[in-house]
Amino acid sequence: MPKKAPSKIGGVALTVFGVLALAACTLDQQGGTAQPQGDDTSSKPSTDGSSLSVEQARERLEELRVEAENDPSGYDRSLFPHWTSKDGCDTRQVVLQRDGEGVEVDEDCDPVAGSWHSPYDGETFTDSGDLDIDHMVALNEGWRSGAHAWTTEKRERFANDLDSSQLWAVSASSNRSKGDSDPADWLPPLESSHCDYVVSWIEVKHTWDLTVDPDEEAALREVLADC
């Protein structure tokens, strides 16, 4: 059965976030708070969201290859090694530090304090255990869109991509509701986030040269039309 594109959401404004930055995971010896390295330690790393404008997203969408979805056998999450460690923090921990407010971590880089706003549903959490790190383009969706032909090393880079807007700290419930769906089948419950969401989706697909299927492309166009 063909996918049903989501209904248009009128009057939604896009908030364009700055370019994502990766804070190094050094700990404040006094209080155990993560401190970014570099000359300016007062600026907070950018949160999730694409650095693309809506117009740029429309241009990138035209450059994506539209193909019928291919679902080769053999998919397994282990083929996309994720939450790899660097400088003492794994990717999940880095995203939680990047996307939270007032985040403090312990000697193992695990958040012990802070608050997080989930952009998919507008909920706020103070326990990092209530959050998942969502892959904007889910690993299985990536597999179906071309990643099945990649090396394991490339799939690992995709699964831990901190340079694009691939990784989002969101409520566990919204992430599990999404599963591996594309925008033809699922959009965040918070309608005001739909523009940010599809712009980010297009950015990740374009960055990694992944295909879109016809229903997926139609859903992206429909949301962008009202952004």
* Containing structural domain, residue 192: 54-226
Residue 146's closest CA among 71, 62, 76? Answer: 71
In a domain, 21, yes or no: no
Residue pair 184/215 in contact by the 8 Å Cβ criterion: yes
Residue 61's closest CA among 52, 69, 70? Answer: 52
In a domain, 5, yes or no: no
Q: How many domains does the chain have?
A: 1
Cα of first residue to Cα of last residue in the chain, in angstroms, is 28
In a domain, 19, yes or no: no
Per-residue pLDDT of the chain in tens (227 residues, 90 and over written 9): 444 444 433 333 333 333 333 344 433 333 343 333 333 322 333 334 678 999 999 999 999 999 998 899 999 999 999 999 988 999 999 999 999 999 999 999 999 999 999 999 999 999 999 999 999 999 999 999 999 999 999 999 999 999 999 999 999 999 999 999 999 999 999 999 999 999 999 999 999 999 999 999 999 999 999 99
DSSP 6-35: PPP-TTPPP-PPPPP-PPP-EEPTTT-BEE
In a domain, 6, yes or no: no
In a domain, 39, yes or no: no
- Whole-number Å distance between alpha carbons of 90 and 207: 23
- Here the tokens at position 141 are 């969706």
Give pLDDT, residue 26: 39
- Whole-number Å distance between alpha carbons of 174 and 103: 22
- Whole-number Å distance between alpha carbons of 120 and 188: 5
Residue pair 87/77 in contact by the 8 Å Cβ criterion: no
In a domain, 145, yes or no: yes
- Whole-number Å distance between alpha carbons of 80 and 158: 8
SS3 66: strand
Give pLDDT, residue 43: 30
- Whole-number Å distance between alpha carbons of 43 and 36: 9
- What secondary structure, in 3-state letters, does 31-96 show? CCEEECCCCCCCCCCCCCCCCCCHHHHHHHHHHCCECCCCCCCCCCHHHCCCCCEECCEEHHHHHH
Estimate to the nearest angstrom the gap between the alpha carbon of 65 and the chain centroid.
21
In a domain, 162, yes or no: yes
In a domain, 24, yes or no: no
